[in-house]
């Protein structure tokens, strides 16, 4: 089963969760779950996995493995405009794994570096590749609240936070800086005119389609305006390679975009999809991207 199909099954199964859990504000289907906290405010929760041989190549330095394991979940918090506060980690270590101490030291370092100290977890050992799972809790922006995938409206301008494509070849996927500061800045300056955001982990095409479906809009993106990482010659690679960990942002028309964003298109009425326009040809980009 493909990841996208399994996710759709999970989303359908979870439709009744709000009634079963009165503190749940947002369940499966966004970058984070959102829960009401007893003392006020909203808690963001996200979890992600890192599997050797899938998310990084054999021989990758331990520090970069540790860094990516934490950064992937921090990037989800950033996509909601939130601040990371704490982290939990579990690990399935290969038998006789010699670098366990260094691995957890570096995970603790990077978690603290991004403001979410590692406060607990679990360790096991077994056959197969190294598997790390990191859960991060964060706080939603105190004024704007969480920025969801579902808030884009026809007429919104679309932006990305950086260049796309070629992440594996350039090792950007190991070295990216989660866009926490930018997410906070956007909430501070735009407030409710910041309509929607999503973390581009699986590619502009696939993740753009997720935002389009959640918001019920058609994303219309100009192929020539998609920023490409050095060495990326095709917009198709920029839209489909994945592992970029940039933000796709929808902003109300008439608002000036803060520094650090690159405009690539607009949201429009019509059947929800991510449409990339190349020399007048309209291409459905929903299948362009990483599918686990």
Nearest CA to 46 out of 6, 78, 68 is that of 78
Beta bridge partners of 267: 219
Residues 117 and 160 in one domain: no
| Domain final position from 139, 168, 200 | 139
Residues in the chain: 292
**pLDDT tens across 118-170, in order?**
999 999 999 899 999 999 999 999 999 999 999 999 999 999 999 999 999 99
pLDDT of 23:
87
Terminal-to-terminal C-alpha distance of the chain:
9
Residues 177 and 78 in one domain: no
Distance, CA of 283 to CA of 277 (rounded, Å): 6
Structural domain including 181 reads 149-284
> What's 271's domain CATH number?
3.90.650.10
Residues 176 and 265 in one domain: yes
**pLDDT tens across 230-285, in order?**
999 999 999 999 999 999 999 999 999 899 999 999 999 999 999 999 999 999 99
Residues 249 and 154 in one domain: yes
Residues 124 and 184 in one domain: no
| Domain final position from 119, 139, 159 | 139
> What's 116's domain CATH number?
3.30.1330.10
Query: Do 132 and 69 contact (CB within 8 A), yes or no?
Result: yes
Distance, CA of 11 to CA of 169 (rounded, Å): 33
Q: Domains in the chain: how many in total?
A: 2
User: What are 81's two structure tokens?
Assistant: 């405009």
pLDDT of 10:
45
Kindly write down the DSSP assignment for every residue of 203-214, as one continuous string. -HHHHHHHHHHH
pLDDT at 12 over 90: no
């Amino acid at each position: 089963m493909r990841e996208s199909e399994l996710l759709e099954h999970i989303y359908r199964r979870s439709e009744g969760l709000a009634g079963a859990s009165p503190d749940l504000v947002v369940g499966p289907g966004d970058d984070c779950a959102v829960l009401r906290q007893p003392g006020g405010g909203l808690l963001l929760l996200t979890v992600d996995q890192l599997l050797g041989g899938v998310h990084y190549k054999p021989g990758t330095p331990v520090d970069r493995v540790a860094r990516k394991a934490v950064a992937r979940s921090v990037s989800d918090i950033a996509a909601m405009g939130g601040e990371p506060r704490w982290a939990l980690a579990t690990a399935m270590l290969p038998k006789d794994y010699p670098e366990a101490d260094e691995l957890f030291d570096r995970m603790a370092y990077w978690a603290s570096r991004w403001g979410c100290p590692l406060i607990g977890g679990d360790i096991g050992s077994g056959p197969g590749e190294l598997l790390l799972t990191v859960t991060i809790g964060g706080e939603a922006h105190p004024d704007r609240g969480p920025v969801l995938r579902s808030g884009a409206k026809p007429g919104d301008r679309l932006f990305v936070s950086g260049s796309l494509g070629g992440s594996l070849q350039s090792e950007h996927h190991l070295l990216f800086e989660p866009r926490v500061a930018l997410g906070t800045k956007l909430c501070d300056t735009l407030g409710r005119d910041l309509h929607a955001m999503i973390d581009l982990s699986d590619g502009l095409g696939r993740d753009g389609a997720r935002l389009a479906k959640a918001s019920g809009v058609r994303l219309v993106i100009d192929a020539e305006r998609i920023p490409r990482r050095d060495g990326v010659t095709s917009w198709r690679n920029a839209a489909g390679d994945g592992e970029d960990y940039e933000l796709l942002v929808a902003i109300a028309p008439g608002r000036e975009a803060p520094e650090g964003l690159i405009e690539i298109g607009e949201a429009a009425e019509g059947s929800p999809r991510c449409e990339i326009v190349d020399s007048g040809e309209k291409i459905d980009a929903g299948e362009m991207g990483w599918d686990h």
